[in-house]
Chain A
């Protein structure tokens, strides 16, 4: 049997990779994918805890997180399309009309 904390380490690793991705990548679509990685790290934690406590609540929460990921992806990709219509770019460095 794999102990719970191995799963948590897997979650922490994905979380870190996701955060690094958000901070270093400039392509907006890839930034969005890195955020998906963080959401998956959350889900691993939730499911691992759900087994630890022998309760299904964590998994139900994970379903809500997946729903939210879907909603966020829909809005995010819509925004990217709207931006592309105006500026023909998906590069975060080139959205610079407003100073960061």
Chain B
């Protein structure tokens, strides 16, 4: 199992870098699909079968199709680098490094290797997830429908030619 994790973790990071570094949006989108699929494998290794399936079907499938569709529709070209973002780079990069260092240190402090718990994976098949979703989290589940309704309504309002 261990080699699988390393392979797909490295693949995910490389593909994520590619998302950010590619100059053509379609390549970014394809790299993002690679990230999402590698993460699905990582979820499997963590015992989250249902989530892995969702990740591939919904995320890599449905959401990314939407992205690719819009990129094709708008015929987005290569972007030319601009100097407007210089401030963000000078100010953002050091802050981010500080933050990342702190985060890594914090993770190290809270979860040192020795404290890793029992090797047994939780039972996270669709049954366990469903039971939790429809019992303990029934209200968030229902409220999600409002969220989706707002998204649908919003997309229609913004993108439809005539209301």
A and B touching (Cβ–Cβ under 8 A): yes
Q: How far is the CB of A84 from chain B (nearest CB, A)?
A: 5
Contact indicator B84/A26 (Cβ below 8 Å): yes
Check A4/B84 contact, CB under 8 A, given A25-B20, A27-B79, A47-B46: no
CB neighbours (8 Å) of A16 from chain B are 96, 100
CB neighbours (8 Å) of A50 from chain B are 46, 48, 122, 124
Contact indicator B113/A5 (Cβ below 8 Å): yes
Check A66/B12 contact, CB under 8 A, given A27-B76, A71-B151, A90-B76: no
Closest to A20 in B: B20
Contact indicator B100/A12 (Cβ below 8 Å): yes
Q: How far is the CB of B72 from chain A (nearest CB, A)?
A: 11
Contact indicator A67/B148 (Cβ below 8 Å): yes
A33 touches which of B2, B51, B67 (Cβ 8 Å) = B67
Contact indicator B129/A17 (Cβ below 8 Å): no
B108 touches which of A5, A19, A56, A84 (Cβ 8 Å) = A5
Majority SS at the chain B contact face:
helix
Check A93/B124 contact, CB under 8 A, given A37-B19, A59-B129, A69-B63: no
Measured as residues with beta carbon below 8 angstroms from the partner, the interface class of chain B is 35 or more
Check A7/B42 contact, CB under 8 A, given A51-B122, A54-B117, A62-B51: yes
- Scan B43-64; emit 1 where CB is below 8 A from any A CB, else 0: 1011110110011001100110
Closest to A62 in B: B51
Within the assembled complex, what's the spacing in Å between the Cα atoms of A43 and B32?
15
B159 touches which of A54, A78, A93 (Cβ 8 Å) = A78
Within the assembled complex, what's the spacing in Å between the Cα atoms of A78 and B152?
10
Check A21/B45 contact, CB under 8 A, given A12-B103, A36-B32, A40-B35: no
CB neighbours (8 Å) of B92 from chain A are 19-20, 23-24
CB neighbours (8 Å) of A21 from chain B are 19-20
Q: List 15 A-B contacts (CB under 8 A).
A: A2-B2, A3-B111, A15-B100, A17-B20, A18-B20, A19-B96, A27-B79, A50-B48, A52-B117, A56-B132, A64-B144, A71-B150, A74-B152, A84-B74, A90-B74
A residues adjacent to B (C-beta < 8 A): 1-10, 12-21, 23-27, 29-30, 32-34, 36-37, 40, 43-44, 47-48, 50-52, 54-57, 59-60, 62-64, 66-75, 77-82, 84, 90-91, 93
